[in-house]
Amino acid sequence: MIRGGEDALFIARRMVIFAAEDIGNANPTALVIANTCFEACHKIGYPECRIILSQAVTYLASSPKSNASYMAIDAALAKVDETGDLSVPLHIRNAPTKLMKELGYGAGYAYDHSREGNFAGQEFLPSEISGTTFYAPGKNAREHEIRSFLKALWGEIWLLRNYECII
């Protein structure tokens, strides 16, 4: 691409997208590497930035791949298109006024950080889509850790919602 006359910043920008879209949580550091590459190429310029591009592209090419985060945002956006604007659940609404408190804003909210393991297990989606799962961790080592973490937090609830992605 460089020999073809492509701008080094265009290449670096595409690597940032690739790191998020195709590597994702299989190797979260890939996005940091790609973004740092873009910033360094912007500062350094060509021809020296070819070395930075080479380091970043070899790192990204040799990373495990997952598009699970990419699929999750598309699923969430499709759900919004399907359902339209849904009301924010009352228990997670801010209650800065007396009237809002009287209307039930914030009632029953459990602050995660005041709970054991920093997890209260509350649903934050509107009731119409309660229980919907958008992110199904990919089948790679890093996302296996994420899957195990989510299973440990949510227990049977998570297993029932995500049975297809633990096979």
- The C-alpha atoms of residue 25 and residue 135 are separated, in whole angstroms, by 11
Stated pTM of the model: 0.82
Confidence band (pLDDT; 50, 70, 90) for 43? very high
Q: Quote the pLDDT of residue 109.
A: 94
* Gap between the Cα atoms of 83 and 134, Å rounded: 15
3-state secondary structure of 40: helix
Which residue, 75, 82, 79, 81, is CA-closest to 165? 75
**Mind listing the pLDDT tens digit for each residue in 74-120?**
999 999 999 999 999 999 999 999 999 999 999 999 999 999 889 99
20: CB partners within 8 A, 6+ apart: 31, 34, 69, 70
Report the C-alpha gap between 21 and 67 in whole angstroms.
6
CA dihedral sign of residues 100, 101, 103, 105 = positive
Q: What is the pLDDT of residues 135-151, one digit of tens each?
A: 999 999 999 999 899 88
Q: Which residue bears the tokens 């997670």?
A: 92
Half-sphere exposure of 163 (CA within 13 A, CB side): 3
pLDDT the model gives residue 153: 87
- By the 10 Å C-beta count (0-12 exposed, 13-18 middle, 19+ buried), 2 is classed as middle
CA 90 to chain centre: 25
